[in-house]
């Protein structure tokens, strides 16, 4: 196994960081690594906002449901899907932007995911730890207000970066045959494989929490998809100019 694959397979979320700062040079390199990711139609529909203001960080801790490492990580970045910049290009060339289309929304959102994951891999290769913060979508309107986002831009997720002050185990992932199919979506073997995987996940949580938590993956998914998930997002996105035409 080469070192890149080994690094990717060793990923963990880090939620406790040392006080060591990240150099400006390294931060710039990480962002440039993100920019090197594939981008559909060369849109480059990503804007990253570095949050350094203490009051804003505290607000993001609150928005994210009390995730204190948002404030204690060396860096907190918010990754935004951005169609405003490309729309302004239309104005510069006397053209009218056809905004609000679902495909544009998908392109920009996928761009964000690809960009951010490049940043993460580059960061981990330098000994940094990361934690994605999807919790900023608990109140996306407040997040947009804090960041002064224009129309046609929305915050997709936050990212904590810093030097790890913990060494958690790698969380087990689904067996490859569950996620890799050939020629068609054949789920005939999935149940048996997931039943076995559930036991691995239970053991992972027992070890991680000292026996305080014991839950399988399928139980977690039942809870996740058995309830509403941020139903405010559709109205927020429409208010931001993403009409999903």
Kindly report, residue by residue over 98-147, the tens digit of the pLDDT.
888 999 999 999 999 999 999 999 999 999 999 999 999 999 999 999 99
Kindly report, residue by residue over 183-197, the tens digit of the pLDDT.
999 999 999 999 999
User: Which residue from 101, 125, 131 is spatially nearest to 15, judged by alpha carbons?
Assistant: 131
Q: What is the mean pLDDT of the chain?
A: 96
* CB proximity list for 8: less than 8 A, separation 6 or greater: 121
Residue 76 has pLDDT above 90, yes or no: yes
User: Do 135 and 64 contact (CB within 8 A), yes or no?
Assistant: yes
The CATH number corresponding to 3-168+228-239 among 3.40.50.12280, 3.40.109.10, 3.65.10.10, 3.90.1200.10 equals 3.40.109.10
DSSP symbols for 165-230: S--PPPPP---HHHH--SSS---TTHHHHHHHHHHHHHHHHHHHHTTS----HHHHHHHHHTS---
What percent of the chain lies above the pLDDT cut of 70? 100
Give residue 1's pLDDT: 82
- For the chain, the domains span 3-168+228-239, 176-209
Give this prediction's pTM. Answer: 0.96
């Amino acid at each position: 196994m080469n070192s890149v694959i080994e690094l990717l397979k060793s990923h963990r979320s880090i939620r406790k960081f040392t006080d060591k700062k990240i150099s400006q040079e390294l931060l710039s390199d990480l962002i440039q690594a993100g920019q090197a990711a594939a981008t559909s139609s060369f849109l480059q529909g990503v804007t990253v906002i570095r949050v350094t203001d203490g009051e804003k960080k505290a607000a993001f801790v609150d928005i994210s449901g009390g995730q204190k490492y948002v404030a204690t990580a060396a860096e907190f970045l918010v990754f935004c899907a951005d169609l405003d910049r490309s729309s302004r290009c239309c104005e510069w060339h006397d053209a009218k932007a056809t905004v609000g289309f679902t495909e544009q929304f998908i392109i920009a959102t996928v761009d964000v995911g690809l960009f951010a994951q490049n940043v993460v891999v580059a960061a981990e290769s330098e000994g940094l730890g990361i934690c994605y913060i999807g919790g900023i979508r608990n109140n996306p309107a407040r997040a947009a207000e804090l960041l002064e986002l224009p129309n046609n831009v929305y915050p997709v997720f936050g990212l904590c970066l810093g030097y790890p002050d913990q060494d958690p185990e790698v969380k087990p992932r689904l067996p490859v045959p569950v996620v890799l199919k050939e020629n068609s979506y054949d789920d005939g073997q999935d149940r048996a494989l997931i039943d076995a995987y559930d036991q691995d996940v239970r053991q992972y949580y027992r070890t991680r929490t000292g026996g305080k938590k014991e839950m399988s993956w399928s139980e977690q998914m039942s809870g996740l998809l058995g309830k509403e998930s941020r139903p405010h997002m559709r109205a927020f996105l429409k208010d931001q100019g993403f009409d999903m035409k």
